[in-house]
Structure 1
Amino acid sequence: MLPKRTDLLISGTYLISMDPDVGDLPCADVLISDGRITDVRPHAPATADHSGATVIDGTGTVTLPGFVDTHWHLWNSLLRGTVGDRPGTDYFTVKRALAPHFELDDFYWAARLGLAEAVSGGITTVHNFDHNVRGPEDADANIRAHLDSGLRGRFSYGPPDSAAPDSPNDLDDLEGLRARWPAAHLDGRLDFGIAVRGPYRTPPEVYEREWATARALGLPITMHCDRCLREEGCRSCGLTRLEELGLLGEDVQIIHAVHAGEQDIRALARTGTRVSLSPMTEMRTMGFPLLTELLDAGVRVSLSLDTLAMPTSADILGHLRAIVSVEAARTGSATVTPRRLLRLATLDGAHDLGLQDVTGSVTPGKRADVVILRSTDINLTPSGDPAEALVYTGQIDNIDTVVADGRVLKRHGRRVLADGEPDPVTMAAAHRDALLRRAAAAGDWRPPATGDTTADPEPATTAQGTGPGPETTAQERSRP
């Protein structure tokens, strides 16, 4: 169902390559053949060696590598609009009420909705952190959705939502993934990892086995920093303990780490552990991301959306604008600049996922993941440094064209659907409505009255009883 790959020539664009050897080219030609960037050079009005290529006129545009998102819970994209600020609609109450009622097609179309929004926002690589895998069929639905979207990324296999602490991931199926999905079926666009809960949420017999299995299979490990808000006034993520247990390393990605202390950060730097920050959800429910501190310590950092359910959107430029302003106010440091943020959202994200030789910069030989923005739109003119203009005033509406692995997935500001392909937005909306009806019929969901911000409605019941009770930790109530 994907659009076909075609040879492309992006002609006369302002290129921010994110490759130090290529640099910025104020007027560049980028040639793409069979899904690969084959040449980057100063613009030549008469080019003889691009016969048969479709020409994209880059006059008045800026071209970047596609953005890389390193932590996104695609399965709960259907919950956007259901989670909110009204009493009884917090993230965990809604998630726990609705998660048991997901059907296979819901997982598929939830992922397709998130990935469609990724395309709209110029994100060409997504790490799907799936923490509601109830069986092999659920995993397969997510993998099919990712491949059908045309995007690149990783699927990290996690436990079912609200799984008991002593219940491990389905490690047998983790091995089975490679048998069901051989490399030939993945189009070079998807790899696998494992999403774990770690020592602060599971006992040693669980986390030790999960780490050992992941490392035996050569699979990267991702984990939320689970101790962040478990203790009142907490100023440590407990990452030094993970270092002592031998659980940190270059194969590990830690999510959030909002309350990491100085020793935690040193442990991350010593072990080469990566950190994915989700500033929009972190600032909403956890605290300020420690971006400057992590970068100054030499920790490899990347950026992520986290979830559409919070609710958030895939407006990466808007997120970068918020981050640069917050860091200026919070630390006064010159570490976090617009260009540094663009690198975090592209090449550094590729490094986090081990894809730095594949994507993250506009470099000959890499796969063709690029985003083209109109620099003549009113909010981007006049401008000086295009990198500063994109971060300070850029908008998702400026994105004209998105190419992922050589396929044009957005053109002239509109997503491109293959002939006969259902629109993921329409399909996701229908599946979300059906999901709510099933949950309501089972007595597990009763939406609060619209506009009622004072009354505390009867909590939605869940598979575990009512919404978050006294046993729910502050961290669990706050983190997606």
Structure 2
Amino acid sequence: MSLLLRGGLIITQDEKRRLVSGDLLVEDGRIVAVGEADRTADEVIDCSGCAVLPGFINLHHHVANTLLRGVADDMPLEEMLPKAAAIDAKLTRRDVQIGALLGCVEMIRSGTTSFHDLFYWEDEIARAVRESGMRGFLSWVTLDEAFTTQHGSPVKNADAFVAKQKGDPLVTPSVGVQGVYSASEETYTKAKEIGERRDVRLHTHLSETRGEVEAHREKTGLRPVEWLEKIGFLGERVTAAHCVWVTMNEVRALARCGTSVAHCPVSNMKLASGGVAPVPEMIEEGVVVGLGTDSPISNNGMDVFADMKVAALLHKATRWDARVMSAQTVLDLATIQAARALHVEQEIGSIELGKRADLAVVSLKGAHTTPFYPETVIRHLVYSGRGSDVQATIVDGQILPVLGPLVVAGVAVESDVALRHMNVRDSKKLSPEKREALAPEIEKVATWELLVIPAEEIDMMRAEMSLNDFEAKLFAQLIERLHPETAYVDAADVDEIEFKRRVQRELRFAVEVVSQHNADELFPVVSAASILAKVRRDREMRAIEAEIGDTIGSGYSSDPDTITFLEKWIKKNGTLPPHTRTSWDTARRLLAESRNRKLDEFGGR
């Protein structure tokens, strides 16, 4: 699979921080050309008027806490933590997965391609990561059993999580420690032992508030950084979040040990931590620093653009120095420096040949970014950019899902013997679990393509043509990509021959088209395509469900759950919800009925 980003302004973030006008070519998930591409690709994105930059890496997060957004505003950390813990204790695994998926959707939409998480039930968060398609560096949090709401031993839970998840292309497991206020020397030592034995990273909160530092000094005679260095926990495996209340000696200790730091300025300001992390001094001493949003409880958003601006302005204001923490510096914190903090800078964090294609395409056409010139583009991104400017987010060369309900798939094989052995069938006759199990097996033995069409695009196309004509166009696009000798299609028209002619009229080369009703029952290759399409559509619907925060069913008009959801939404909001095909008769009818009911109720008074 290849992808060409054509005609953008490429913010490489390479060693020389080059800006390159031109094309970016991706093949099999890796960057193969920057500036000039001498060939086309399977998919092309027009990036004129856009910046193409490395996807953001959120270095400290608690993504499942998306569900707790707004519950602890305007209170200090010492009050927020017990309130959040009380709610955490009631969360189910399903809650954690939904919260994580919603957070992934928010991050994807604003250009974040990777995040570094600290939570329990990270296996559920891993599921959300896979469904969304972004990268997760996931740390199962450990703490003393006297303080935990986890079932069983947090240390054993973390060890089991790491053992199970290692080797996943999108999920990188690690071990977390909550902080010195809830973890003893024994817990820190056990966490470090797992990290060394499993060869994974460590992630902890450190010196976030003055109260934390003073309480620990009273207890041990040492400040937290000093104590962690003494017990041998600090090291190159460790990323420490916050480090607000640290002395210069402690900064030098972090540098000496090779410990990286996640700077979370918005969270620290909102919780009134009472200080500002000495990031300029950390950088000068050689500490690798990245940028984190922290939890949705204490931020409340995940838009790295907003956090970059705050990071720059906070240090300028408190230092009385407009030159400190330049736009380039904070962009580094959100990209290449965050990658270095996680020791993955050879793979992600910058746009260079051979690296993984984790990218964000950002429009510079808005009123708030006009005018822009190459020499001002970094400053525009940091001081004027918004997450809503992101036009596409790409991980491993794959454009991450744009939420929408219509998915069309094509599958090509030399022989359908392997598909027959899998016993592929019409996807509607298979359970979701069976479809999920079959999909990766199909992908191994076939060449395949998918088209995902957002609801708003369907509505626009239906204003110009019938749904059958639109589907014929989509089928033709897939046939063009796969270029088979014979194409089997599930006829979307009552007249199979007429639908075949519609498809052929859209094709630019001669191919035999077999158009039949119920083709997904008759031909294994069509069955396989229906399975891939249904699996992708199910994931799209779950993401929409997570975004909306309500049960929405399958999205089909025959589903009572979907109709109930639409009726409830319309009654409450007076309009159709996002992602609805407003051109559908069902949607129009429900909206009209709702308005009629309101008129009747008004007249009855």
Task: Decide whether aligned partners of structure 1 residues 83 and 376 sit closer, same or farther in structure 2, where only a CA change above 3 A counts.
Answer: same
**Match 1:149 to one of 132, 146, 150:** 132
Higher helix share: 2
In 2, distance between residues paired with 1:97 and 1:416? 41
- Residue aligned with 2:268, SS: helix
Q: What residue ranges of structure 1 are gaps of 5+ in the alignment? A: 1-5, 433-480
Matches within 5 A, 1:322-471: 322-331=310-319, 332=321, 334-384=323-373, 385-409=376-400, 418-420=536-538, 421-424=540-543, 426-427=545-546, 430=549
Residues 1:11 and 2:11 are matched in the alignment:
no
Task: Decide whether aligned partners of structure 1 residues 70 and 103 sit closer, same or farther in structure 2, where only a CA change above 3 A counts.
Answer: same
Q: CA deviation at 1:275?
A: 0.5
Asked if 2 retains the 8 angstrom alpha-carbon contact of 1:201 and 1:226, the reply is no
Task: Decide whether aligned partners of structure 1 residues 164 and 91 sit closer, same or farther in structure 2, where only a CA change above 3 A counts.
Answer: closer
Q: Which residue of 1 aligns with 2:18?
A: 23
Q: CA deviation at 1:213?
A: 2.6
Provide TM-score, normalisation by structure 1.
Answer: 0.78
- Residue aligned with 1:126, SS: strand
Q: Which residue of 2 aligns with 1:140?
A: 123
Give the residue type in structure 1 aligned to 2:95: D
Give the residue type in structure 1 aligned to 2:133: G
- Residue aligned with 1:422, SS: helix
Asked if 1 retains the 8 angstrom alpha-carbon contact of 2:316 and 2:322, the reply is yes
Q: CA deviation at 1:179?
A: 4.7
Give per-residue Cα distances to partners, 1:26-52, cap 9 Å, x unaligned. x2110011221111124xxxx6522x4
Provide TM-score, normalisation by structure 2.
Answer: 0.63
In 1, distance between residues paired with 2:185 and 2:98? 36
In 1, distance between residues paired with 2:310 and 2:404? 24
Q: Which residue of 1 aligns with 2:226?
A: 240
Give per-residue Cα distances to partners, 1:424-468, cap 9 Å, x unaligned. 353365479xxxxxxxxxxxxxxxxxxxxxxxxxxxxxxxxxxxx
In 1, distance between residues paired with 2:227 and 2:542? 47
RMSD over equivalenced CA pairs, Å: 3.2
Q: CA deviation at 1:337?
A: 0.7
Task: Decide whether aligned partners of structure 1 residues 48 and 86 sit closer, same or farther in structure 2, where only a CA change above 3 A counts.
Answer: closer
Matches within 5 A, 1:216-231: 216-226=197-207, 228-230=209-211
Task: Decide whether aligned partners of structure 1 residues 209 and 431 sit closer, same or farther in structure 2, where only a CA change above 3 A counts.
Answer: farther
In 2, distance between residues paired with 1:88 and 1:403? 35
In 2, distance between residues paired with 1:87 and 1:200? 16
Q: CA deviation at 1:412?
A: 12
Asked if 1 retains the 8 angstrom alpha-carbon contact of 2:110 and 2:387, the reply is yes
In 1, distance between residues paired with 2:159 and 2:391? 41
Give the residue type in structure 2 aligned to 1:36: R
Give the residue type in structure 2 aligned to 1:317: F
Task: Decide whether aligned partners of structure 1 residues 121 and 162 sit closer, same or farther in structure 2, where only a CA change above 3 A counts.
Answer: farther
Task: Decide whether aligned partners of structure 1 residues 263 and 155 sit closer, same or farther in structure 2, where only a CA change above 3 A counts.
Answer: same
Which is further off, 82-91 or 96-105?
82-91
Q: CA deviation at 1:72?
A: 0.6
Task: Decide whether aligned partners of structure 1 residues 77 and 299 sit closer, same or farther in structure 2, where only a CA change above 3 A counts.
Answer: same
Asked if 2 retains the 8 angstrom alpha-carbon contact of 1:296 and 1:335, the reply is no
Q: CA deviation at 1:182?
A: 5.1
Q: CA deviation at 1:399?
A: 1.1
Which is further off, 249-258 or 85-94?
85-94
Higher RCO (C-alpha 8 Å, min separation 6): 1
Q: CA deviation at 1:85?
A: 2.9
Q: Which residue of 1 aligns with 2:154?
A: 170
In 1, distance between residues paired with 2:242 and 2:550? 30
Q: CA deviation at 1:347?
A: 0.6
Identity among equivalent pairs (%): 26
Give the residue type in structure 1 aligned to 2:39: D
